[in-house]
Amino acid sequence: MENSEILKSVKVKAQKWLGSEFDAETRASVKHMLENDEKELIESFYKDLEFGTGGLRGIMGAGTNRMNIYTVGLATQGLCNYIKKEFSHVKELKVAVAHDCRNNSRLFAETTAEIFSANGFKAYLFESLRPTPELSFAIRHLGCQTGVVITASHNPKEYNGFKAYWDDGGQIIEPHDTNIIKEVEKIRSLSEVKFKGGKKPIILGPEIDEIYTDKIKALSVNPEIIARQSHLKIVYTPIHGTGVKLVPMVLKKMGFKNIFHVPEQDINDGNFPTVKSPNPEESAAMAMALAKAAEVDADLVMATDPDADRVGIAVKDPTGKISLLNGNQTATLLIYYLVSQWAAKGKLKGQEYICKTIVTTDLLNVIADDFKVQHFDVLTGFKYIADILKKHEGKMKFIGGGEESYGYLAGEFVRDKDAVMSCALIAETTAWAKDQGKSLFDILVEIYLKYGFYKESLVNVVRKGKEGAEEIQQMMGGYRSNPPKSINGSKVAILHDYEERVSFDLLKGTRTAISLPKSNVLQFLLEDGTKISVRPSGTEPKIKFYFSVNAKLDKKENYAKVEKLLEQRIEGIKADMGLN
């Protein structure tokens, strides 16, 4: 379709947004675009904001391709319609709604709760911003059939989102996700959305915070160690987000007394004024916290993202300098601590397990095997970890799990990644290390000495627009039809194709079925122990390459030498695959 045809089409769509069913501010914004800004008009109306498998996420503003009370309303009504069908046997349907610190989040949350209420649901709405994992907890605690959190996680300030949950507290997965999408698509007019007419939502306040944080405190394995190390120096920042109240609350409940804040970032602000991006995966987002750590000689630095489901950390390295750890390293420390201490306390009975995503370090599975703990690998996305918890509830006991993108979980009362919980347990792990006269970094090196030095890296190849999407598709097709026989001098032994759900042993010429759901992911396992995962992003115009290499670390003094060798191997792989 040529630009003139697109413009003609979007003008027709935009004219409808000048009707009386839209508020004055929306009408004024659309009128301005029609008269003055054709480029923004096209961006705002050339398509409908899609209700994807996780809900909505997009730039805020007027238009069908934007996050606003009308697109949120359509999504909410579609979700209501589906829940009413699926739970027709339930006498009183219930929903919990939460939101983060972003601009318009409160408005979207109130709109969502009111629509549920108008559809006959008993709607619970948090009094103010709350972490995503607390919403997951509240769904189960209150016996809700669904839940919604308004958040765009760590996206830029222009974005917001609508994330839907099922009655188990986990994000919605197949077949419900695609079925909800169909329900949303059935709605032809805003007149079908019940914006008003129900009872006032029930407001949730500090009482849920207390119950939730008490549950987290109960996960503590070594409270006596925390008592001895209660003055551990911890710097924490919520990066303007929802962790601001509950992370310090739970740390104090656990027994930590020396918590340092970054005052400028304790201010809830959807514009995130002190950072370029509120993403703790990026070192720049933690710059102010690192500066505070140097000032107070901190043992641990923690930063949570706006909806407090991810956490980035920094610890003292052997030189005494505070160094950032990546998501794989943090997951390794957390799982090693939990599994080893469960073993030390005699809590391992043979029915315990951990869970991780297929792109997360295999070191977690090596640790689990050593302690005879079962482990499960799932597709990328914490909703799949939640699904494992659901399947094994009452039969096995979940110790913990995580993903390389800075999300972790322990216990079974939350069914999504939980940075509030993770901060509490990471602080306890640090106290345990300090009780032995060590830092977390020292413990990490000891893990490498025992199990092997695992190093991971991630490359994002961005390809924007229609041509970019086609190029990404061609890259995946090329890898499938003509997989490399060797990479960086090591033979490709096994190819896992999650789209075809088949694992090919390229050396033996055999194939076996993959039991996981279908997903557009490829993995190459090399003879030297390297694992390379390739997958297009589901939310951004990019293709992701995950690299994991490992080698033996024979003594602590050789840490830097082995790390350099692994870095060189990763660079060699990137060069061989044309990714430098």
pLDDT in tens, 259-283: 999 999 999 999 999 999 999 999 9
Q: What is the mean pLDDT of residues 557-571?
A: 97
Does the annotation mark 191 as catalytic?
Answer: no
Write down the domain spans for the chain.
Answer: 47-204, 211-451, 453-576
Instruction: Pick the closest to residue 83 from 71, 96, 98 (CA basis).
Output: 96
Q: At what angle do helices 327-344 and 363-370 cross, to 10 degrees?
A: 10
Distance CA 410, CA 419 (A): 11
CB 373 within 8 A of CB 335: no
Q: What is the mean pLDDT of residues 518-535?
A: 96
Architecture of domain 47-204: 3-Layer(aba) Sandwich (3.40)
Q: What is the mean pLDDT of residues 187-208?
A: 95
β pairing state of 453-462 and 407-410: unpaired
Catalytic residue among 153, 405, 490, 548: 153
64-73, 316-325, 515-524: segment of lowest average pLDDT:
316-325
pLDDT, tens only, 299-335: 999 999 999 999 999 999 888 889 999 999 999 999 9
pLDDT, tens only, 336-387: 999 999 999 999 999 999 999 999 999 999 999 999 999 999 999 999 999 9
Length of the chain: 580
pLDDT at residue 537 is higher than 50: yes
Exposed/middle/buried for 572, CB within 10 Å: 0-12, 13-18, 19+? middle
pLDDT, tens only, 475-518: 999 999 999 999 999 999 999 999 999 999 999 999 999 999 99
Q: In which band, very low, low, confident or very high, does the pLDDT at 563 lie, cut at 50, 70 and 90?
A: very high
pLDDT, tens only, 23-59: 999 999 999 999 999 999 999 998 888 887 678 999 9
pLDDT at residue 207 is higher than 80: yes
The predicted structure's pLDDT at residue 334: 98
pLDDT at residue 82 is higher than 80: yes
Q: Using DSSP, how many helices (H) and how many strands (E) does the chain show?
A: 18, 23
Tokens at 33, concatenated = 């675009």
Architecture of domain 453-576: 2-Layer Sandwich (3.30)
Q: What is the mean pLDDT of residues 59-81?
A: 96
Q: In which band, very low, low, confident or very high, does the pLDDT at 108 lie, cut at 50, 70 and 90?
A: very high
Instruction: Pick the closest to residue 324 from 441, 427, 414 (CA basis).
Output: 441
pLDDT, tens only, 435-463: 999 999 999 999 999 999 999 999 999 88
Q: What is the mean pLDDT of residues 576-580?
A: 91
Tokens at 39, concatenated = 């480029």
Distance CA 128, CA 159 (A): 19
Percentage, residues of the chain above pLDDT 90: 90
Tokens at 475, concatenated = 């890259």
CB 543 within 8 A of CB 536: yes
Tokens at 1, concatenated = 């379709």
SS3 81: helix
Neighbours of 173 (CB within 10 A): 19
pTM, two decimal places: 0.95
CB 165 within 8 A of CB 176: no
209-218, 505-514, 530-539: segment of lowest average pLDDT:
530-539
Exposed/middle/buried for 347, CB within 10 Å: 0-12, 13-18, 19+? middle
Tokens at 51, concatenated = 């209700």
SS3 527: coil
Q: What is the mean pLDDT of residues 167-190?
A: 92
Tokens at 372, concatenated = 């005879």
The predicted structure's pLDDT at residue 382: 94
Architecture of domain 211-451: 3-Layer(aba) Sandwich (3.40)
Residue 141 CB partners (closer than 8 Å, separation 6+): 208, 211, 212, 413
Q: In which band, very low, low, confident or very high, does the pLDDT at 539 lie, cut at 50, 70 and 90?
A: low
What strands lie across the sheet with 94-99, from one edge to the other? 55-59, 159-165, 146-150, 94-99, 122-126, 202-204
Before 263, cis peptide (omega within 30)?
no
Residues facing residue 98 across a β-bridge: 149
Q: What is the mean pLDDT of residues 211-216?
A: 98
Q: In which band, very low, low, confident or very high, does the pLDDT at 183 lie, cut at 50, 70 and 90?
A: very high
Q: In which band, very low, low, confident or very high, does the pLDDT at 1 lie, cut at 50, 70 and 90?
A: very low
Which own/partner pairs from 526-530 qualify as long-range (CB within 8 Å, at least 24 positions apart)?
526/486, 526/487, 526/488, 526/490, 526/491, 526/492, 526/493, 527/490, 527/491, 527/493, 528/490, 530/487, 530/488, 530/490, 530/569, 530/573
The predicted structure's pLDDT at residue 317: 87
Domain pair 47-204 / 211-451, same fold: yes
